[in-house]
Amino acid sequence: MLNTVVDTFKNLWFRDTKEKPVFINDTAVRIRAGFLLFIPIYMLYTLIDVVYGSTWVVDGNTAVDTYELNWDDQIIYAVEAVRRTYDYTIQTWVLWYALFEMISGMFVTTSRLSPTILIASFLAKNHKAVWKPLVPKRFAWSLGSTFIVTCLIFFNPEVFANWMNDWFSTEIPTTYNYMPYWIPLYLVWICLGFMWLETVLGFCVGCKIHALLVWLKLIEEPCEACNNIDWEEIERRHKERREEERRAEERRESQENGDNPKQSV
């Protein structure tokens, strides 16, 4: 048990922290994705409430009969209603933590700052390791970071607008949310689907997109199979094969000499 804990703190989910390129345990990656799955679920609940929920808070105790009917012969009541306001402080902090998790997993040094990587690496010690290169995962987490930043802008439009207006002299409005509701809503659905596929099926959509970009030669990436070639082992086998061929040739010559002895003069 102690050795497992020490090894987890030392190597985390890396096969070897000093090798190039770096490989990580995909089993631990899937466990970590399961931990982080609650974040898009929480954001989806928030956005559904914002987009499809009522924009008014009605106090039913203040209802007064107006003795009037609408076109459907329904009684019209006068009530006290307050326009609903939203406080996204909790959502903002959750998104900042999610962004920290995405960025921390991209590099060996920052991975040691992530509690989910530490816990997932420890839990994965009892399972067979599945080594995958870090670079495609890094690309996938970059996509996730883009989704998170978009949601941060949606939940804090005035902060982003003030930054842009101060730095680049733009005229982004600060009095209303300029980002359409459907953008973060769709992105959260996509993020939830991606993380579910990673957790349950071990299918990394971001990695497949990365592989497609490499195939299209838009990204240069060394061949994973070539990186796993053990050239020393190949050379050793070649030497053994040449040695076997030499011995077989000697045996053949020896047999020929035995079948055709030289005649004495």
**Helical pair 134-155 and 182-196, crossing angle rounded to 10 deg:** 150
pLDDT of the residue at 264: 46
CA distance 249 to 36: 64
Q: Within 10 A of 205 (CB to CB), how many other CB atoms are there?
A: 15
Give per-residue burial for 230-259: e unless 16+ CB within 10 Å, then b.
Answer: eeeeeeeeeeeeeeeeeeeeeeeeeeeeee
pLDDT of residue 19: 85
DSSP state at residue 170: -
- In a 10 Å sphere around its CB, with 0-12 CB exposed, 13-18 middle and 19+ buried, how is residue 163 labelled? middle
**Both tokens assigned to 55:** 């924009």
Structure tokens at 1: 């048990």
- Tell me the Ramachandran region of residue 21: left when phi exceeds 0, alpha when psi lies from -120 to 50, beta otherwise: beta
Handedness of CA 159, 165, 170, 175 (dihedral sign): positive
Q: Are 12 and 118 in contact (CB under 8 A)?
A: yes
- The reply to whether the predicted model has a pTM over 0.85 is no
The span from the CA of 255 to the CA of 249, in Å, is 10
Beta strands in the chain (DSSP E): 23-25, 56-69, 75-83, 131-133
In what helix (H) or strand (E) does residue 233 lie, and over which residues does it extend? Answer: helix 231-259
Give Cβ neighbours of residue 83 (< 8 Å, ≥ 6 apart): 55, 56, 57
3-class DSSP string for 29-65? HHHHHHHHCHHHHHHHHHHHHHHHCCCEEEEEEEEEE
Helix, strand, or coil here: 223? coil
Question: What is the pLDDT at residue 86?
Answer: 85
Measured CA to CA, the distance from residue 253 to residue 145 in angstroms comes to 70
Structure tokens at 141: 């987490």
Residue ranges, the chain, pLDDT below 70: 1-2, 222-232, 259-265
The pLDDT value given to residue 265: 42
